[in-house]
Structure 1
């Protein structure tokens, strides 16, 4: 699989998804954007959340709803055709190699790394900041899968140079307590 081409497709889809979300929901105070996949490496999807949504959340659950993309208001919304095309490419590639566990482990790791690289590139270009005028929270996550705590910490540090980074890392310290 040509991961460089896939990376360009994911970047283009992510840009389009965020622009669509901003156009439709910018007045709601978008503060976050995520790319996420699944443990089977069959999908890449966007997710966004807003300050408006957080007003509806019980105070005890605020951090979870603020930082967990699966709970965000606009999960799997934006650039629908582009992300569907990416998912089709991924599933086709997986079907061709379904018997090879070592290949799958490399494929999964490369897909996850590619998504993180896309988010990092967009952050470094100030893509999000240039649209909404401030930094937002960025994350890559995988549904029904938990990264090792140190790996998740590294993702947060890599993708966030803002107040969200320290708040998320502080929140991480409360996990399991």
Structure 2
């Protein structure tokens, strides 16, 4: 049973996963009731580099069609651009637990504690969403081919190091391929920008 070295605030991966899954399901059910399930194009849990809090997020089809700074896929595959954040108390218990674990970290006891803590939180969130996928919360294969599910961080190197694997674990092969193709367009765009900068520097 995996757990962080957090002393009395330690929590197993399985316990944290189950706590997050329950909170996420409650939050997503509530947002379905508010927005209408047919209007939702994606579900996610969003955290940050420190990983001591997280929040459920959804994106609507309306947000994808009205986005003015890129394509619909730029919205769908960029969780920070999503339009509906659940700021209710449904994740309050989860975040209280995460903050207690974070504050219990001690570099003198284990100088790697924060990295271990982050990886535990990341994995617990992904497994929580996997649990919802497995129980059919996001629909059958056909429905999931038109839906995006993800755990993501607001600003982190995990976009490259972790997120492609998370996408594959939480989505159908069809959606995973679409995400991979979108990522390739980002890489191509950066190559074009770097080439332009190099050209300007040579002038």
User: 2:86 matched to 1:68?
Assistant: no
Q: What is the 5 A alignment of 1:138-153?
A: 138-147=149-158, 149=160, 151-153=162-164
SS at 2:57's partner residue?
Answer: strand
Say what the alpha-carbon RMSD is for the aligned residues: 2.0
- Give SS of 2:172's match: coil
Structure 1 unaligned spans of 5+ = none
Between the aligned partners of 2:19 and 2:74, the Cα distance in structure 1 is: 30
2:92 equivalent to 1:84: yes
Q: Please list, as runs of the form range in 1=range in 2, the aligned pairs for 1:8-157 lying within 5 A after superposition.
A: 8-26=18-36, 29-58=39-68, 60-75=70-85, 77=86, 80-99=88-107, 100-129=110-139, 134-135=143-144, 136-147=147-158, 149=160, 151-157=162-168
Aligned to 2:198: none
- Unaligned 5+ segments in structure 2 are 1-9, 189-203
TM-score for the superposition, normalised by structure 1: 0.88
Would you say the 8 A contact 1:28–1:52 is kept in 2?
no
SS at match of 1:43: coil
Q: What's the offset of the Cα at 1:32?
A: 0.5
The 1:82/1:60 distance shift into structure 2, 3 A limit, reads: closer
Q: Larger radius of gyration, structure 1 or 2?
A: 2
Deviations 1:106-139 (A, max 9, x none): 1110110110111111112211217xx8222111
What's the TM-score once normalised by structure 2's chain length?
0.77
Please state how far the C-alpha of 1:162 moved relative to its aligned partner. 5.2
Distance 2:32 2:174 in 1: 21
SS in 2 for 1:47: strand
Kindly tell me: are residues 119 and 129 of structure 1, through their superposed partners in 2, closer, same or farther at Cα, counting changes over 3 Å? same
> Which residue of structure 1 lines up, in the alignment, with residue 11 of structure 2?
2
